[in-house]
Amino acid sequence: MSPLLDIRGVSVRFGGLAAVSDLALALGQGEIHALIGPNGAGKSTVINCISGFQPLSAGEMRLGDERLGQLTPVTAARKGIARTFQTPQLFGRLSVADNVRVASRSGRTGLFDGGELIELVGLAGLQARAAESLAYGQQRLLEVARALACAPRLLLLDEPAAGLAADDIARLARLLRRIAGELGLGILLVEHNVGLVKRLCDQATVMHHGLVIASGSPAAVLSDPAVVTAYLGAQASPSQARPC
């Protein structure tokens, strides 16, 4: 079976700076794949490319059998790609319920109804609250609910556990595993919570200075010497970066 998401040779340059170099990544249907690495590694740039917020300088991306080409956020959403951001992007003055309702009007049939989504992410009883009045962790959970309301084939999560309490992280992990397993949704997440990556993810790709330095199971990549060096803050030499 071909991958749900297949990225080959993707590079992104900002002037003379290579933010991403020759990236290759494959994500299967029903798979949860972590994209990890130190700050500035290029992880969010990859998410921006897939979701249409950043054009490619080189390379190719495919969703199923379809070549994606140069996407915009609108065309990405229409193809079934939904995402969250490092800083929650919500309608602050709208209620929790209305935020989910607006997202569900994307033209795609929802996986869950709005009330069920709100309950699944742990915001039951807060439907009438304005989004701007929620705690930061609750806003992040609401953004996940909004992304799921779009009925995506591919869900991109940029640091979804940031700011969440332990109970909310556990709830989020259960939800992501459920929707991946039961609905065949592909999930690519950028995450700094290594414990969550180990427990939740099927595969992990580690980036450093725009290069892939390791890929495989979370246990394998997190014990890779190049990854340990990168997370300790030392400079990983180019010779340690394996071709994508």
Q: Where are the domains of the chain?
A: 5-80+153-240, 90-150
What is the tens place of the pLDDT at every residue in 4-31? 999 999 999 998 899 999 999 999 999 9
136 touches 25 (CB < 8 A): no
Q: Which of 44, 23, 39 is nearest to 188 (CA)?
A: 44
pLDDT of 11: 97
Strands (E), the chain: 5-14, 17-27, 32-36, 58-63, 66-67, 81-83, 154-158, 186-190, 203-208, 211-216
Torsion sign (Cα): 10, 21, 38, 195? positive
Q: What angle do CA 215, 221, 223 make, to 5 degrees?
A: 160
Helix axes 136-149, 166-183, angle to 10 degrees: 10
What is the tens place of the pLDDT at every residue in 84-120? 988 888 999 999 999 998 887 655 545 577 888 899 8
Q: What angle do CA 12, 16, 17 make, to 5 degrees?
A: 50
Q: Which of 235, 244, 191, 196 is nearest to 43 (CA)?
A: 191
Per-residue pLDDT band at 2 (split at 50, 70, 90): confident
- Inform me whether the pLDDT recorded for 238 exceeds 60: no
- Inform me whether the pLDDT recorded for 40 exceeds 60: yes
Per-residue pLDDT band at 236 (split at 50, 70, 90): very low
**Hey, which CATH number is domain 5-80+153-240, 3.40.30.10, 3.40.50.300, 1.20.140.10, 2.40.40.20?**
3.40.50.300
Query: Can you tell me the distance from the alpha carbon of 86 to that of 126, in angstroms, rounded to the nearest whole number?
Result: 22
What is the tens place of the pLDDT at every residue in 129-174? 999 999 988 998 899 999 998 889 999 999 999 888 898 899 889 9
17 touches 186 (CB < 8 A): no
Q: Is the pTM for the entire model greater than 0.75?
A: yes
Tokens of 222: 């997190």
Tokens of 122: 């742990």
- Between 236 and 169, the more confident residue is 169
- Inform me whether the pLDDT recorded for 237 exceeds 50: no
What is the tens place of the pLDDT at every residue in 204-229? 999 999 999 999 999 999 999 889 88
